[in-house]
Amino acid sequence: MTSTAVLMVLEALAALGLAANIGQFIGYSLTLVSKAKEIHQSHEGATKENVDREVITKHLQETLERFGASAQHVSPLLVQLRARCETVITELLAALKKLESKGKPSKWKNARRALKVATNKDKVEGWVARLRDLREEYQLHIVVDILSVF
């Protein structure tokens, strides 16, 4: 291959790379616009997904409180799991609160909030996954404790 042909191939690859980057940027921008619109139209000032996460997390928190108050002779392992659940619940609810839009909604404010939601998505999903794992472990130990009574 001649040097001209190599340069033409390299230019084509560079153009392809640029087109791919532009495509990613457009996709990310559309996601941000969609999230900003969702936040703007929401009464809670948050995405539907985060509102659902907050409701589910608060329900789990209330359930743990009710179970802890009514349970007698709870194993130390369940007490530890409950404490770890409460820690993750507190962290997750605080993070979700920070992602809510406060005050009078404006398009610019909602766009910034959407960017914040997008950049914190992995962190929030990490807390959700941890909480899901702890809840499953908690449920398993409750079932084992109940079965050991019989």
pLDDT in tens, 103-135: 776 777 778 888 888 888 899 999 999 999 999
Confidence of residue 21 (pLDDT cuts 50, 70, 90): confident
Whole-angstrom CA distances from 41 to 2, 110, 139 are 59, 10, 37
Task: Give 129-136's long-range contacts (Cβ < 8 A, gap of 24+).
Answer: 130/88, 131/57, 131/60, 131/85, 131/88, 131/89, 131/92, 134/81, 134/84, 134/85, 134/88, 135/60, 135/85
At 97, list the tokens: 């609160």
44: three-class secondary structure by DSSP: coil
Q: What is the mean pLDDT of the chain?
A: 85
Confidence tier at 71 by pLDDT (50, 70, 90):
low
Nearby residues of 110 by Cβ (< 8 Å), 6 or more positions away: 36, 37, 39, 40, 101
